[in-house]
Amino acid sequence: MIQHGLKGVIAAETAISYINGEKGELIYRGYEAKDIALHYTFEEAAYLLWYGKLPNENDLNVLDKELKAGRELPDYVKTIIDQLPRDMEMMSVIRTAISALGVSRFSWKPKIGEAIELTAKVPTIIAYRKRALEGLEEVEPNDQFGHVKNYLYMLTGEEPSDVHVKALETYMVLTLEHGMNASTFSARVTASTESEMVSAITSAIGTMKGPLHGGAPSDVTKMLNEIGEKEKAEPWLRRKLEKGERLMGFGHRVYKTKDPRAIALRQKALEIGSEDPWLALALHVEETGNRLLEEYKPGRKLYTNVEFYAAAVMRTINMDDELFTPTFTASRIVGWAAHVLEQADHNVLFRPESEYIGKFPADKTAASH
């Protein structure tokens, strides 16, 4: 039986993450992802995914040093970025810059050190490009700052508040990894050919940039901007539902109950901005949307997903809309790299079949008449 899009087809074994959509579970290497996000740093979570265990103090110091050493972009990559058209979207810039790093030292088999270097460079690529487009000077990486804090620093040139750093860090940890999604599958397929880490990550970025995969938080922001005030939420949402249109940030292909990432991010959002008017609007829209969805689509269990609260957090920390998917990419590269490493350890070439539905040559006997 054909499974269009390979839905439900098990194509690999993995020890990296586990998703139970019915129970609303997301597990990273045996730990609840929401607990990791609320109590551990980006570096600790990345170590867990790459090495299969939480780091001790020495492990963490080594990883921190390696990440910081990998932040700088080679001059030739900066030159390439400078030559790209101004209207080239950020995801395409990241894809091009990462591809340009694919020199001979990246080769089969992939190594954790390569995962660390590529992860370290993505925030620098984003910040370098953003500031160049704004006519601002490059902000060099700050070796005194951790991964997430340095990312925010390079974007603005100002030391970010601890509250904003933890908010973004929570989001980035929650989006490090999410099973065999489209971009992760792309990375594993490319790696299965024994192509190197850079090519596998480039494949994943090309997949992530598609609007069906990586663009949802900006759509939520647009929805909240259009609603504008609490009083307008119910009539606005009712109009959408009566037209049969989707409410952005509600429902998930996998989770049939509350998205555990949304639960953790909601908690963090409340911690950083309980008095923030934007967050208050988001909370009201969530409550109203859940009530109306139960009215219009009873039993469907369509709750807010991680993208809904990602939009709220990103707005609270003043992250530009066009950086939502690139920031998602800056976190998900950890999961992609973990899957590339896992694929390489037990490699089997992905080679699915397809069913031919086209024409066949006419019968030769009939053709002779």
Residue 26's beta-bridge partner residues?
19
Helix or strand or coil: residue 4?
A: helix
Residues 286-315 as b/e (b if ≥16 CB within 10 A, e otherwise) read bebbbebbeebeeeebbbbbbbbbbbbbbb
- Per the annotation, the verdict on 307 as an active-site residue is yes
Q: Give the DSSP letter of residue 3.
A: -
Q: Give the CB-side neighbour count of residue 266, counting CA atoms within 13 A.
A: 18
The answer to whether the CB of 217 falls within 8 A of the CB of 324 is: yes
Indicate which residue of 114, 196, 286, 307 is catalytic: 307
CA 351 to chain centre: 26
Distance CA 87, CA 362 (A): 50
Distance CA 228, CA 231 (A): 9
Indicate which residue of 252, 286, 339, 342 is catalytic: 252
Distance CA 82, CA 354 (A): 42
150-84-90-335 Cα dihedral, nearest 10 degrees: -70
Helix H or strand E segment including 205: helix 197-208
Q: How wide is the angle at C-alpha 124 spanned by C-alphas 328 and 191, nearest 5°?
A: 60
Q: Which residue has the tokens 């902000």?
A: 139
- Per the annotation, the verdict on 252 as an active-site residue is yes
153-163-167-61 Cα dihedral, nearest 10 degrees: 60
Helix segments in 17-158, DSSP class H: 33-39, 42-51, 57-69, 75-83, 90-100, 112-133, 147-156
Query: At 175, which amino acid appears?
Result: T
Known catalytic residues are: 252, 307
